[in-house]
Chain A
Amino acid sequence: MVRTWRCAALAAVVVLVAGSVLAQEVVLKDPAGDDFGPGAYTYPTDAVYKAGSFDLRQLKVVSKGDNVTFEVTLGTDLDDPWRMGGGFSVQMAFIFIQTDPAAEGLTKTYPGLNVQFAPESKWQKCIILSPQPPARVKNEVETKAADLLAATVIPTRTRGSGRVLSATVAKADIGGGDLTKWGYQVLMQSNEGFPDKADLLTRKVNEYEGQHRFGGGNDLDCDPHVVDLFAGAATGDKSEAEEQKKMLAYECNPDGTSKSLATIKTVGVAAK
């Protein structure tokens, strides 16, 4: 009996030690106050869009056992004015991951973001943090971005608490590997329950802000519909705001089509 207890205690210690040894963590930071997209984006005017709601501050990725937890920290406390049930309503975050720069990957992104990734930053997986039910997000991907479905990971549950959006997914769904060597990018958007027919639950950016539309962009879809993202070394240095402006720079043709699409790079250890 004593031996049994000893074995059990030893096993518990091994599990704890192994767990702590195997746990991996990545923390990326973004400066405060750069939630202006390419430089001039403004929030919608409705009171639900509080200052800092889309101001990306940090991404924390923690591997524990077979799961990986993603925590996106924003610039203000989360609210659930539309009673979505997960503790937040207005935010939506796309976490792009480059698990292997040498592997096949994607440069295109979801409709409604209006950005592309640079070839050297091609991504393999994207985790979508949305307050919508997972089945609705999945249906949107199936109908509007079917070619990205295999690369999309939709968490069973996305929570908002304090200033943090978080979700846990199976590491196998991302493809495994060493997450400290992955490249990352987080594109901050706003959850739109009534999106444009082609957009994947994203909120429009127009030339002038409206009650539920961002301002400072273009009325058509040649501008990046991204309010904040990581740039530079993702250390949170103020200079990264300028890097962000450069990365989200775009040009429109006179007819409103894109002349030069904003091109995104991943950040992190594996980033190029």
Chain B
Amino acid sequence: MRHNRWVIAAMILAALAFAEGMAFAEFTLDLGGRTYTKWLWGNARREGSSYMYSDIPNDGAGDNGQFTEIELFVNAKVSKYVEIQSRLHSRFNQNYWTNYSGFGGRPEGEDPCIAGDCGEYSPLSNQYLKLRGMTVFIRPGYGWLDQVVLGSNDMGGWDPWIVGQARYIDRDNPAGIIASGSLFGKALTWRGQRLSLPRLWAGPGFNTGSFHSADGAYTMLLSYSPSSKVDLVGLYNYVNDIEIDPLDVNPDNGIDTKTRYREGVYGLRVAIRPTDNIEVRGNYYHSSSSTDSTLGAGHTGFSPVIYGDLSDSAWKLAADFNDPFEVGLSFKAEYFDIGADYVAVLAGRREVDVLLTEGWDATFAMPGPANLRYAVYRDAQHLQGEGLAQNIGWGGWDGTTQQVVSLGVDNNITDFNEPLAQDVHGWKGFTFVPQYQAGDLTLQAELSWIDYNTNWQTAWGGGGGSKYPTFEWFTGVNTTRPVYQPYQDRETSIYALNAKYIAPLGKGLEITAKIKQIDETDKRLNNPALVPNIVPTTVGPAQGYEATGYAWAPFDDVSDDDRDLDYMTYQIGLGYQFRDELWAGLRYEHYDVELKDGSTAIYGAWPGNWYGYGDQANPSGDYNKNKVSVLARYTLGGAEIGFQYQYNFGDFKPDFGDGFVAKVVNGKRYFQSVDYRNPQPMFTRDFNQQRIVSYLKVAF
């Protein structure tokens, strides 16, 4: 009976509480969503997945197919204090329309699912709906604590040099608790988080070891704006990747842990606006990091962090002068210096751009003329089937690269028309950007001079070759992870002029044009005493070579490995808004690149090639690349359709120098230093790549 009284009392209290809540009448439940349908077509005839580039094992790239997904947003405002946001999303990767709604298929077994062939048996193709993100907002109304956010967040809003976003499709994947508040009438705001460390990539070797559930990052941000002329922001982030202590075998008193990877980064940002048209900004960051090789954090070469105990800094100073002479002429300038050993494993991996320079063009994103990944790994992919091969093709990606300070820079799961990110560890230099605007004409130039903190003549900066990630070294015209080479003496200059003009024709004809030059030299090894003088293997007609001689060129002079790049880009584009709902455009791009890369010819045999040139595809020669794009966007009644057709054509004329003999296969000459390595054609290669990406988006 007494029990019932308590129940009744509780019910009354609950009813009162509910009534209290109803008095504010704030409970709302919102349902919304979006559908996204994509059409891909390409003459590479790949069908690994629904993305034109992916290097995810067993989920390779594809340039053909039709795919549909749906997102459902379920949001609720429970009370004045509590709000919920969530997102459900159907899986997209291999759900080809030709799968017949995922019907049938085969169990995955030992063979990876590819091109949707596992049908209903694989979540990559069976169109199941997945909880992608759920976030609870609690706003208690305390003076010092504004809000607590629990659950998914995209790591945005901190600082991309320390903690930043990854891929857009991953925007709900990170999860943690964020608390924020303010003091002194909002002049000082603070924010802190405990983020669960992503086990898939946020540690040495792109993992966080076997014990992952207690791994975390702890971030604190203080922002102080005493006036609209000054902003000060201070941040600190601590990453703690722990493992079970292997020596603690007594569970009676709990199990001890040891740190596998630890990282502390602090940063300071200052923005000063002395006048209405001048802004000066400074960013300074310092990292200290440590790995424990006894806990599975030994050097693997494939890692988003550097191994060992180290510290370094990164900083930049920027100034904007907005039309100081009131004639339409503005200036931007930036000096940057990013230490070779600066490490922030959670720094933005994509979706951000930390430097002023427009940098490199994304069409040369991967090594080799065909934008393949470097040769030995491409071969490994081929063993698994052509559909898994990781390349984007001759055309590469569109546009210019975004710069990120992340050794784990990530361009996976993208189509060619999406932005490409490039790691800029070690970059130091100066960028100057004048811009002139007069009516419908905008002219913008860029002058950048880049030196490198990774220029060193002690192999791997004195690290003995053991501490730096060594995947995707600087090869070919450009790559996105051109970070650490054993020997480097590199300088880069970028000069660009961009123009936009709205010609008074009809509704206004949009004309864009661009010319860009990149000059780069890398003398690499400069110390004659360190020239390896490895005697190349002698080969002859018996092995299929055209004559008896060396299989690769001798490396007996410091100039043998030199690199010299002359790079020109020319672009012109037209765009026109035919109707309110239809915009269409046409763009032509031409790339004229002359690369003399001595390291191509000194492709030594592994491991005799003691500093790794053999692991690269670095073809020296002349590139003549053309891109013709037809673009359209149609918007009608809540639906948006985008379309881009691209025809990429041109040729690559190899010039690997001399000092070796060519292998002849089917009457054609190849450079092949050792049998197991992919042969490099020495004849002119003609390219013809056509592709289409089109989409339909409808929000509801």
Contact = CB atoms under 8 A, between A and B. Distances in A.
Interface of A: 32-34, 40, 42, 44-47, 51-52, 55, 57, 75-77, 81, 83, 85, 133-136, 138-139, 143, 154, 156-157, 159, 161-164, 168, 194, 196-197, 207-208, 210-211, 215-216, 219-220, 254-256
B276 interface: yes
Nearest to B147: A208
Given A57-B276, A162-B435, A197 B32 contact: yes
A15 to B, nearest CB: 14
B180 interface: yes
Contacts of A157: 502, 507-508, 510, 577
A225 to B, nearest CB: 17
B577 A156 contact: yes
B136 to A, nearest CB: 13
B347 interface: no
B231 A51 contact: yes
A44 B191 CA distance: 13
B23 A162 contact: no
B581 to A, nearest CB: 4
A147 to B, nearest CB: 19
B419 interface: yes
Contacts of B640: 133, 136
Nearest to B155: A211
B588 interface: no
Contact of B419 (A46, A83, A208): A83
Tier of interface size on chain B: 35 or more
Contact of A208 (B23, B139, B583, B699): B139
B638 interface: yes
Nearest to A64: B439
A204 to B, nearest CB: 11
A162 B330 contact: yes
A197 B227 CA distance: 36
B323 A219 contact: no
Given A47-B160, A133-B633, A256-B24, A208 B146 contact: yes
Contacts of B353: 81
Nearest to A143: B638
A47 B507 contact: no
A32 B228 contact: yes
B80 to A, nearest CB: 7
Contact of A255 (B23, B228, B279, B435): B23
A52 B279 CA distance: 10
B437 A164 contact: yes
A-B CB proximity, top 7 nearest:
A33-B228, A135-B581, A135-B635, A45-B157, A208-B146, A133-B635, A255-B25
A136 B581 CA distance: 8
B153 A211 contact: yes
Main SS at interface, chain B: strand
Contacts of A162: 322-323, 330, 435, 437, 442
Interface string B123-165: 0000000000000010100000011010001101101100010
Interface string B293-322: 000000000000000000000000000101
Contact of B508 (A52, A77, A156, A256): A156
A75 B271 CA distance: 13
B219 to A, nearest CB: 13
A52 B320 CA distance: 13
B186 interface: yes
Given A133-B633, A135-B635, A162-B435, A47 B156 contact: yes
A194 B699 CA distance: 8
Nearest to B221: A45
Contacts of A136: 635, 638, 640
17 contacts: A32-B276, A40-B186, A45-B156, A45-B157, A76-B279, A77-B320, A77-B332, A133-B633, A135-B580, A135-B582, A136-B640, A139-B635, A161-B435, A162-B322, A207-B146, A208-B147, A254-B23
Nearest to B25: A255
B686 interface: no
A159 B437 contact: no
Nearest to A161: B442
Interface in B165-207: 180, 186, 189, 191
B229 interface: yes
A47 B24 contact: no
Nearest to B332: A77
Interface string B324-335: 000000101000
Contacts of B638: 136, 139, 143
B528 interface: no
A211 B157 contact: yes
A216 B182 CA distance: 11
A96 B502 CA distance: 25
Given A52-B273, A157-B577, 4 more contacts: A136-B635, A162-B437, A211-B156, A219-B26
B254 interface: no
A30 B75 CA distance: 38
B636 interface: yes
A133 B25 contact: no
Given A47-B352, A197-B30, A219-B80, A161 B580 contact: no
A33 B635 contact: no
A143 B139 CA distance: 33
Contacts of A42: 186, 189
A267 to B, nearest CB: 19
A254 B24 contact: yes
A138 B636 CA distance: 9
B638 to A, nearest CB: 6
Interface in B414-437: 419, 435, 437
A139 B636 CA distance: 7
B212 interface: no
A75 to B, nearest CB: 8
Contacts of B583: 133
A47 B153 CA distance: 14
Nearest to A211: B157
Contacts of A83: 419
Interface string B500-516: 10100001101000000
Given A156-B507, A197-B32, A208-B146, A135 B636 contact: yes
B159 A47 contact: yes
Nearest to B145: A208
A270 B150 CA distance: 51
Given A32-B276, A134-B577, A208 B25 contact: no
A161 B633 contact: no
A215 B157 CA distance: 14
B80 A51 contact: no
B239 to A, nearest CB: 20
B32 A255 contact: no
Contacts of A216: 186
B580 A219 contact: no
Nearest to B638: A139
A138 B579 CA distance: 12
Given A133-B640, A134-B580, A197-B32, A220 B279 contact: no
A46 B156 contact: yes
B262 interface: no
Nearest to A76: B279
A168 B503 CA distance: 13
Contacts of A256: 24-26
Interface in B219-256: 227-229, 231
Given A157-B502, A254-B23, A33 B227 contact: yes
Nearest to B181: A208
Nearest to A33: B228
Contacts of A44: 157
A85 B587 CA distance: 14
Contacts of A33: 227-229
A163 B323 CA distance: 10
A229 to B, nearest CB: 16
B437 A161 contact: yes
Contacts of A47: 156-157, 159-160, 164, 352
Contacts of A154: 580
A60 to B, nearest CB: 12
